[in-house]
Amino acid sequence: MSGRGGIFQLAGAAQGSALVLSRPLSFWGGIDAETGDIIDRSHPDLGANIAGRVLVMEGGRGSSSSSSVLAEAIRLGTAPAAILLARPDPILAVGAIVAESLYGKAMPLVVCDIAGIGSGDRIAIAVGKDGAAIVRRF
Amino acid sequence: MTFELSAEDRSMLQGEQGPAVAAAMKILVAFAGAVGARSLLDISAAHIDGCLYHGQAGLDFVERLVDGAGRVKVQTTLNVGSLDLIHPELVRMPEGRDAPARRLMKAHMDLGCQATFTCAPYQTRFRPSFGQQIAWGESNAIVFANSVIGARTNRYGDFIDLCCAMTGRAPAFGLHLRENRRGRILFELEGLDADASDATFVGVGLIIGQKSGDHIPVISGLPAPRDEDQLKALGAAAATSGAVALFHAVGITPEAAALDDAFHGEPPRDVIRVTRADIREAVAALSGVPDGAPLSAVCLGTPHFSHDEWMRLLPMLRATDRGKRTPIYVNTGRATLERLTAEGALDDAEALGLVPVADTCTYVTSVLRRLDGAVMTNSGKWAHYAPGNIGVSVAFGDLADCVRSAAAGFVVRGAR
């Protein structure tokens, strides 16, 4: 796959193994920030772990408290290496921005076409010359 | 699409008003971009839902603002915290959580926020007015401010509500703009009694929450409420079962004098009929235990009990034989509690089995002493969240049912 373009909600470079969720996940009530485990009992990916993965989903979902959970996960090192979304999500964006501001840890959050990405694909995210995101499989 | 910053916005962003304001503005601008706003607008009040301790990141954020000599720019009220600072003996926190929870509440006060610690700021002296632009967190407060008062806020939450307070600005999008306050779905209520019960209002709220999705609901056929507390219960239920931030009730709420006003003259995209049976079914689903189940407590005041609600409860209790003396916990704002105390209204509280709880709420923290029986409540919100949060079985009922059941020591319904 050649690179696909994307828009950063929070800019940065990262790479990791894709974890593609079949349904959007609310971080609040859905992620244990201490471990990175998916704990939402109604979610099809219950039991998977997001730490260090490139998390891929359509969009965010649910309570604004998800901002805090994402920020806390980034602080603890249990957050994904990056998140790819098909639709922008203000709540996850806030969590990522706050964590970068507090802890200097940039977890890239990218809005892009997520079609064709499968769990386990190796994904690299880079910052293009124009500041846009470049998402590649390698 | 370009984003327009005012000269004042740029000044804040560039750090001319200190590092705390700059940090808040940077986050606010990024958020505004993510929601597709083109500019920011002035707000004159904020309500911050940031005092519940969820982890270190939340505390770090507020303390960083305090360290940067931050002060809120507009009148700012605070939602509940994890502790009852008025009755510290009531809340039992896990080891090590008490200190950061207390620091979180104090850090917000250090930023110049008012120590209201209530989820019903609309029933304090900080109540906003019609048309006022505000940035509020806390779902029940948001829906009340928009719907019952006609103030204008989006659903703000973690970090962003405080960034709005620190800058006096909010993204110009969503419910701040008149054109986005138009109703979309019509709920036609059929055959309701004129003096509908509190439970009816809760049931209607649950249904519009479940069925509105992202669309603004309009209710026709809602009986005139006895007082605004019935609309408060409706809104809290709608914001619990769904994501309702604004509802219109034709002939009742201020932006819905007539059906056409609520829909801005356009047709609804959907019409949903709601019968008495639908409402009964929605309310019944709140109860996890049958009539006759033994009770360990009654919990009232979610959202926080108003002075009027206390004035309904107290005579009811005094007229009831206390019987089993099941404890009745009542969450309320500290300002309401001070007023009641000054009036002597709570002089016989202990004899009545009352446990007033301020600054927090019995479903977000550990207050209840006994959890061996079911807990009865008149709150749709409490009934929804408490089983997951604190692991209790719940019976839902009207205020009169709750009072009678407390005396009986088991669930009694149909007391009207």
Residue-wise pLDDT for A6-50, tens only, equals 999 999 999 999 999 998 888 988 899 999 999 987 789 999 999
Tokens of B133: 């632009």
CA distance A9 to B195: 51
On the CB side of B149, CA atoms within 13 Å amount to 26
In chain A, the residue whose alpha carbon lies closest to the alpha carbon of B138 is A64
Tokens of B61: 């954020």
CB contact under 8 A, B159 and A99: no
Establish whether the linkage from the previous residue to B303 is cis, with ω within 30° of 0. Answer: yes
**Hey, is the C-beta of B144 within 8 angstroms of any chain A C-beta?**
no
CB contact under 8 A, B57 and A98: yes
CB contact under 8 A, B159 and A68: yes
CB contact under 8 A, B60 and A65: no
CA distance A135 to B212: 36
Q: pLDDT for B77-114, tens place per residue?
A: 999 999 999 999 999 888 788 999 999 999 999 999 99
φ/ψ (deg, to 5) at A136: -130, 150
| CA distance, residue A66 to nearest chain B CA (Å) | 8
| CA distance, residue B394 to nearest chain A CA (Å) | 21
CB A36 within 8 A of CB A73: yes
- Whether the pLDDT of residue B342 is over 60: the answer is yes
Sequence length of chain A is: 138
CB A17 within 8 A of CB A53: yes
CA distance B165 to B134: 9
CA distance B162 to B25: 10
Q: pLDDT for B238-248, tens place per residue?
A: 999 888 999 99
Residue B214 confidence (pLDDT): 86
**Hey, is the C-beta of B155 within 8 angstroms of any chain A C-beta?**
yes
CA distance B234 to B195: 15
List alpha helices for B242-306, DSSP H. 259-262, 276-284
CB B137 within 8 A of CB B165: no
CB contact under 8 A, A98 and B155: no
Which site among A26, A40, A68 would you substitute to test the B interface, given the most B Cβ atoms closer than 10 Å to its Cβ?
A68
In chain A, the residue whose alpha carbon lies closest to the alpha carbon of B54 is A68
- Whether the pLDDT of residue B415 is over 80: the answer is no
Residue A126 confidence (pLDDT): 97
Distances (CA, A) of B43 to B61, B75, B107: 22, 10, 22
Of A10, A75, A89, the CB nearest to B57: A75
Residue B416 confidence (pLDDT): 46
What is the value of ipTM here, to two decimals?
0.89
Q: What percent of chain B has pLDDT over 70?
A: 99
- Per-residue pLDDT, averaged over B302-326, amounts to 93
In chain B, the residue whose alpha carbon lies closest to the alpha carbon of A61 is B243
CB contact under 8 A, B61 and A93: no
| CA distance, residue A36 to nearest chain B CA (Å) | 14
Q: List CB contacts (< 8 A) between A105 and chain B.
A: none
Nearest to B398, CA basis, from B155, B203, B261: B203
A63 is catalytic: yes
CB B169 within 8 A of CB B175: no
Distances (CA, A) of B18 to A104, B220, B236, B337, B354: 19, 50, 38, 38, 47
Residue A2 confidence (pLDDT): 64
Strand partners, B358: B332
Angle, CA B235 vertex, CA B233 and CA B238 arms, to 5°: 110
CB B3 within 8 A of CB B39: yes
Tokens of B168: 């006096």
CA distance B194 to B227: 13
Q: pLDDT for B54-63, tens place per residue?
A: 889 999 999 9
Comparison of pLDDT for A42 and A56, the residue scoring more: A56
Q: Is B217 helix (H, G, I), strand (E, B) or coil?
A: strand
Residue B96 confidence (pLDDT): 83
In chain B, the residue whose alpha carbon lies closest to the alpha carbon of A28 is B54
Residue A52 confidence (pLDDT): 98
